[in-house]
């Protein structure tokens, strides 16, 4: 019977299939045994070498505040439109994805109203180097653009608004040189190697931003991302939250700073206002200034070129880094040197015929008609060169040099800013060494009237003014009061530093201060234009020549302190191209002092 033969064949074949299936399962079991038992160790190891990538997360930068908490440097959210390329990924070659992103950028450009920051090359670079991170296509979107985006009908999948902290300087150019500016951070190689991906990060390039960069930048955090070699991200496990930077509290008085900036606006120059009782820098301004905000997020090259090439050097902080001859404002120091040497007294008089005769050479006094016979107090008031030349010749360059050093000249004040020079207090040894020439009497004469090789910064002269104001205490200028954590706790406190004391008898100091009082308060004083209503002030004008003989130019100077009794401010002000201290600087000093002592224009 046919069926009888057929059925055993079917059964045989079913058994055959069963055998094949059992064999296949045995193969599976065998391979599984290989993997899980025999080679288990090897896979354990592979497991540990999984591909983890570290992303560096910059911390929020600390703020810079003035002494009353006014914000000088802060952060604000910057809205960026970013693409998440992993979500946009198109099948096939990466070029497809690049094309897709370009297509989206094109459709978004009219909505955003601006051209995108990225092109095909940037997209390719991003895919190669930092695929798991968002690709920022537009920065600093304004509210109008955000609103248009929210209503736009374009495809926004894989697109997100991404917030980056952006450095802002609410005061515009205010205190620009002190604050400095930030730029893209350059991480040391070691740190660089630790992270495979980095988010944009800034670091201070000058000013407080640079000097206190470590404090301000806080502790960067890190995030672990698991990726495969195609660069895709599988998951994130935040490793460490970034630790936000601390706030730096400056000694700056926001109001006085503004007054100081107004006072020297329009001319190249600098002004420093110190509190003579502790050395606090109440204001420090340099003109012309720049806008630190223009460096964020990055400076346009042409602006940078302009800043670098301008002959007025807007990036340089004249108050701290530029050296000047002090001219006549050095005379109070010379006077004290004479008195302290014991070879001169306040009552000694000199007849000034309009010049000082040294050998056969006439050292001209600024008043060709001569000052007649003057004593020390009058000589300071009138800034008589003949008198100080005679005084200097009497006590010698050694005594003047020593006194200058006691006032802190010839060395850094130690302010918390970079690139501060020492300045120079010349000595015979110095001249021999650098110029190969011996010290001559003419050098002493020049030294006595603040000319010659002597060079100072405006900040150093503000310290001199401050010492004269408080009667002898040399405080190091204190720019930073404290560093405060984000929670307001004080992390570091910087107490005033008394760097030294000028050793002169009180009577000597008194007579010099009287002379400076007359400079401003006497009807004939050289600094009369600085006078303000109701406050007795003291000061000294100065005009220092510089440049070549064919191109003589003059710095105008003033140092001053006020009120005369119990001074609260000590000021040094310099204007690069001046007629004279009394004509050019005194009115500007008037504006500053008037503003300080008569807020809201109450005074005259």
Partner 1 sequence: MNRRSEFLLLLSRMNWLMLAAVLALMTIGIIFIHSATHVREDVTSGLYQKQILWALAGLGAYVAATLFDYRKLRDAAWWIYAMALILLVAVLFFGTRIYGARRWLMFFGTGIQPSELGKLAVIVLAACLLSPPAGKFERLPPLGWMLFLAGVPMLLVLKEPDLGSALVYAPVMLAMLFVAGSAARPLVILVLSGLLLVFLVLGVVALPEKIGMSPEKQEKFFRAIHLTEYQRDRIEVFLDPSRDPMGTGWNKRQSEISVGSGGLTGKGFRKGTQNILGFLPRTVAPTDFIFSVIAEETGFAGAMTVIGLHGVLALCGLYSAMAARDKMGRLLCVGVVTMVFTHAFVNMAMTIGLLPIVGIPLPLVSYGGTFMVITLSALGLVQSVHVRRPGV
Min separation Cβ 154 and partner 1, Å: 21
Report yes or no: 273 and 260 within 8 Å, Cβ to Cβ: yes
Min separation Cβ 87 and partner 1, Å: 13
Q: Report CA-CA distances (Å) from 536 to 531, 533, 574.
A: 8, 8, 22
Cβ closest to partner 1, residue 32 vs residue 533? 32
The Cα–Cα gap between 350 and 372 comes to: 8
**Angle between helices 441-448 and 385-406 in degrees, nearest 10:** 80
The Cα–Cα gap between 234 and 34 comes to: 29
Min separation Cβ 128 and partner 1, Å: 14
Structure tokens at 280: 């606090």
Min separation Cβ 20 and partner 1, Å: 9
What is the bridge-based pairing of β-strands 197-198 and 52-57?
A: parallel
Cβ closest to partner 1, residue 37 vs residue 489? 37
Cβ closest to partner 1, residue 97 vs residue 580? 97
Structure tokens at 430: 């110095």
Cβ closest to partner 1, residue 43 vs residue 361? 43
Report yes or no: 594 and 571 within 8 Å, Cβ to Cβ: no
Report yes or no: 95 and 120 within 8 Å, Cβ to Cβ: no
* DSSP result, 318-351: HHHH--B--GGGGHHHHHHHHHHHTS--TT--EE
Cβ closest to partner 1, residue 30 vs residue 534? 30
* DSSP result, 235-273: EEEEEE--BPPPEEEE---HHHHHHHHHHTTTSSEEEEE
Cβ closest to partner 1, residue 86 vs residue 322? 86
Min separation Cβ 288 and partner 1, Å: 56
Cβ closest to partner 1, residue 17 vs residue 193? 17
Min separation Cβ 41 and partner 1, Å: 9
Instruction: Please return the burial class of 12, using the count of CB atoms within 10 Å of its CB with bins 0-12, 13-18 and 19+.
Output: exposed
Report yes or no: 213 and 179 within 8 Å, Cβ to Cβ: no
Min separation Cβ 162 and partner 1, Å: 21
Cβ closest to partner 1, residue 13 vs residue 128? 13
Residue (of 338, 365, 60, 5) closest to 199 by Cα position: 60
Cβ closest to partner 1, residue 1 vs residue 489? 1
> What is the binding site for partner 1 (CB under 8 A)?
2-3, 6, 9-11, 13-18, 21-22, 24-25, 27-29, 31-33, 35-37, 39-40, 42-44, 46-47, 50-51, 91-93, 226, 228-230, 234-235
Cβ closest to partner 1, residue 3 vs residue 193? 3
Min separation Cβ 274 and partner 1, Å: 59
Q: Which residues contact 338 (CB under 8 A, 6 or more apart)?
A: 344, 391, 392, 394, 395, 399
Report yes or no: 484 and 249 within 8 Å, Cβ to Cβ: yes
């Amino acid at each position: 019977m046919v069926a009888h033969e057929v059925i055993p064949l079917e059964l045989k074949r079913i058994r055959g299939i069963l055998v094949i299936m059992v064999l296949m399962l045995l193969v599976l079991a065998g391979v599984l045994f290989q993997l899980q038992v025999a080679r288990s160790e090897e896979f354990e190891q592979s497991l540990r070498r999984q591909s983890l990538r570290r992303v560096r997360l910059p911390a929020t930068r600390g703020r810079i505040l003035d002494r009353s908490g006014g914000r000088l440097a802060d952060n604000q959210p910057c809205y960026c439109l970013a693409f998440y390329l992993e979500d946009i990924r198109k099948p096939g070659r990466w070029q497809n994805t690049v094309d897709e992103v370009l297509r989206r950028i094109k459709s978004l450009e009219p909505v955003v109203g601006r051209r995108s920051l990225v092109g095909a090359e940037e997209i390719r670079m991003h895919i190669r180097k930092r695929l798991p991170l968002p690709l920022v296509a537009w920065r600093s979107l304004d509210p109008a653009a955000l609103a248009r985006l929210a209503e736009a009908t374009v495809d926004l999948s894989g697109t997100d608004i991404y917030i980056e902290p952006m450095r802002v300087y609410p005061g515009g150019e205010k205190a620009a040189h002190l604050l400095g500016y930030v730029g893209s951070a350059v991480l040391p190689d070691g740190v660089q190697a630790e992270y495979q991906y980095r988010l944009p990060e800034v670091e201070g390039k000058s000013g407080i931003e640079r000097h206190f960069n470590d404090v301000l930048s806080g502790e960067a955090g890190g995030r672990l991302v698991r990726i495969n070699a195609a660069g895709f991200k599988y998951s994130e496990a935040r490793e460490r939250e970034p630790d936000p930077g601390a706030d730096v509290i400056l000694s700056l008085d926001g109001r006085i700073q503004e007054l100081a900036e107004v006072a020297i606006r329009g001319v190249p120059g600098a002004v420093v206002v110190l509190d003579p009782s502790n050395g606090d820098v109440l204001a420090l301004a340099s003109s012309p200034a720049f806008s630190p905000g223009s460096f964020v997020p990055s400076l346009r090259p042409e602006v940078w070129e302009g800043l670098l090439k301008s002959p007025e050097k807007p990036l340089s902080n004249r108050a701290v880094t530029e050296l000047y001859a002090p001219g006549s404002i050095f005379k109070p120091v010379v006077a004290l040197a004479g008195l302290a040497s014991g070879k001169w007294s306040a009552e000694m008089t000199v007849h000034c015929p309009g010049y000082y005769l040294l050998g056969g050479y006439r050292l001209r006094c600024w008043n060709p008609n001569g000052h007649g016979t003057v004593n020390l107090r009058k000589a300071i008031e009138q800034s008589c060169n003949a008198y100080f030349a005679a005084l200097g010749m009497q006590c010698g360059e050694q005594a003047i040099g020593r006194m200058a050093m006691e006032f802190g000249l010839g060395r850094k004040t130690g302010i918390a800013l970079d690139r501060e020079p020492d300045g120079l207090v010349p000595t015979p040894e110095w001249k021999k060494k650098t110029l190969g020439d011996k010290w001559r009497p003419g050098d002493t004469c020049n030294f006595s009237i603040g000319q010659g090789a002597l060079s100072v910064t405006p900040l150093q002269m503000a310290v001199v003014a401050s010492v004269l104001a408080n009667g002898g205490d040399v405080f190091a200028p204190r720019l930073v009061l404290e560093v405060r954590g984000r929670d307001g706790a004080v992390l570091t406190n910087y107490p005033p530093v008394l760097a030294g004391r000028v050793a002169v008898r009180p009577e000597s100091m008194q007579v010099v201060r009287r002379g400076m009082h007359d400079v401003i308060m006497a009807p004939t004083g050289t600094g009369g234009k600085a006078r303000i209503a109701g406050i007795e002030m003291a000061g000294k004008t100065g005009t220092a020549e510089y440049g070549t003989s064919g191109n003589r130019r003059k710095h105008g100077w003033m140092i001053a302190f006020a009120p005369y009794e119990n001074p609260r401010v000590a000021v040094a002000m310099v204007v690069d191209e001046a007629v004279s201290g009394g004509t050019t600087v005194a009115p500007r000093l008037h504006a500053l002092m008037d503003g300080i002592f008569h807020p809201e224009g109450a005074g005259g």
